[in-house]
Structure 1
Amino acid sequence: MNSKSLNRIPLYRQARQQILERLCDGEWQVAESLPSEWELAEQLSVSQGTVRKALTELVADGVLYRQQGKGTFVAPGADDWAGMSMISPGLLSESPDRLQREFLGVARGNAPDDVSAALGLRRAAPVFRIRLLWRLRGQAVALDEVLLSAERFPALDSRWLRQLPGVWAVLQQHFGVRLRVATEQWRAVVLERDEAQLLAAVSGTPVLSHLRLAVDVNGAAVEWRQRLCLTDRLALTLQHLPA
């Protein structure tokens, strides 16, 4: 980015980007307090008001959080379920059990047209296709298909996907990319034979398809994901954080 294009970016957005880069470089860890607004303003050579506006936007994006009278802290990154889980139908107060992840594999291929459009890639661009199986108390309950740009993440290693708790953890730890869900859709579909075998279900069983697009902190599309959920005995739920 040259100086002319940089000058066209609002000053608070430049400060926001510099803070993000320092976060991604590991300067501050999860739950660690950032320097005061005055200290950051001095470090970034901007006004305290500019820093406050940059921090407010990062708080809104879920990258940081504030505690009254204590300061601004680094928020933990969301996991692959982004606040969702599976619980007994109708029991809205039930505390969800932890889902166990099973890494099924990763393969390189070409993006279908709808995925290319969603991720802003050229037609048939190379992508990584990752499959994950989720279990609840040992029973398979959901199957994920995740597509990521192979050009943006050429160093993606299957060992990381085996070792870490999910795709989002890999992207944050190894690439400094934090994700949030930007848009999502739900609809009823039926299981194909391969999907049914992985979920230990009958081919043609109705399931809930949860299709979503996740973006990074700059709003760029990063991840396309379809999750197939068995909802004959369980319900998909979203745990809202208190305001």
Structure 2
Amino acid sequence: MKMSDPELSEVLRRYAPGDLAGLPKYARLRETLLRAIDDGYWKPLDRLPKEMALAENSPYSLGTVQKALRDLVQSGVVVRRQGHGTFVAQREGVMAGPRHLLFEDDAGEPLALFPRLVAQERDDGATVDWRRHLGESVREVVRLDRIFSVAHQFECCSRFYIDAMRYPVFASAQMQGFQTMNFKDILRREYNVVIERSSRTVRVTTLPQDVGAMLSAEPGITGAIIDFVTFAGDGQAVYYQQAFVPPNPYALRVESR
């Protein structure tokens, strides 16, 4: 949503809470933006003003603005798209047909997953070597980060890497509307690609610091990291995915497809 400076200043003034004087500055701005979103001023899929515009039209520094937005990303209220901006997230919905991560209660009943897309950005492979899984010929990859609320009992997350040139829908704004879908269903619907098999490795180790922060977990927490590489019928690797699961009391069934 493109706004003039006077209009943005008025919106920030109108939605600023008057009873949070004891909160840090970033929390005051976070609550201001959240109130505007909850009131419907910014609706799902709307783009928020740029960070610099928020800083210039409020009493907050750029660093404070960035911290407030990071907090909203982690809580699933907004999502960042690298090079495009920050957008209001879709409201919570149940994931349709989860296959990689199937949590079960004591009776063996599956638990509902409530996913939210918290990041969608290009990835150069500097941190995670996706080329080892997807192949050296892949030049441009998009990474999608999702946090899953498991029956509202605990949260886990995943990082999904896919060729952005071969499967451009995953790098598009459409993913905001697809965030509750199983990504395999998107591949089948958009590209007629059917996943025939996957390889999986599981290790129990300290979760990466940024993942722990995304899950609001204690620093240094130990959890399970599950790596998936999926393949189409022709043997071509389609995507690479990492799942990060903190300690929890539920059984996890990992399917091969």
1:82 matched to 2:96? The reply is no
Unaligned regions of 5+ residues in structure 2, if any? 1-95
Aligned mates of 2:141, 2:97 — CA distance in 1:
19
Q: Partner of 1:177 in structure 2?
A: 193
Instruction: Give the C-alpha shift of residue 157 in structure 1.
Output: 4.5
Q: Partner of 2:227 in structure 1?
A: 211
Q: Partner of 1:73 in structure 2?
A: none
One of 154, 157, 165 as aligned partner of 2:168: 154
Aligned mates of 1:128, 1:110 — CA distance in 2:
9
Relative distance call for 1:210 and 1:179 in structure 2 (3 A) is same
Instruction: Give the C-alpha shift of residue 156 in structure 1.
Output: 3.3
Unaligned regions of 5+ residues in structure 1, if any? 1-78
Q: Is the 8 A contact 1:161 1:167 kept in 2?
A: no
Q: Partner of 1:126 in structure 2?
A: 140
Alignment of 1:38-49 (within 5 A): none
Q: Partner of 2:131 in structure 1?
A: 116
Aligned mates of 2:226, 2:136 — CA distance in 1:
22
Q: Is the 8 A contact 2:197 2:231 kept in 1?
A: yes
Relative distance call for 1:80 and 1:179 in structure 2 (3 A) is farther
Aligned mates of 2:173, 2:220 — CA distance in 1:
33
Amino acid across the alignment from 2:104: I
1:135 matched to 2:152? The reply is no
Instruction: Give every structure 1 segment of 4 or more consecutive aligned residues whose post-TM-superposition deviation is greater than 6 Å.
Output: none
Q: SS where residue 118 of structure 1 aligns? A: helix
Q: Is the 8 A contact 2:154 2:248 kept in 1?
A: no
Q: CA RMSD in A?
A: 2.7
1:89-137 Cα deviation digits (max 9, x unpaired): xx3x4211221111112101223574212112337x2111110111122
Q: Is the 8 A contact 1:209 1:229 kept in 2?
A: yes
Aligned mates of 1:211, 1:83 — CA distance in 2:
10
1:46-76 Cα deviation digits (max 9, x unpaired): xxxxxxxxxxxxxxxxxxxxxxxxxxxxxxx
Q: TM-score scaled to structure 2, two decimals?
A: 0.54
Q: Is the 8 A contact 2:117 2:176 kept in 1?
A: yes
Aligned length: 159
Aligned mates of 2:236, 2:256 — CA distance in 1:
24
Alignment of 1:90-109 (within 5 A): 91=106, 93-109=107-123
Amino acid across the alignment from 1:86: F
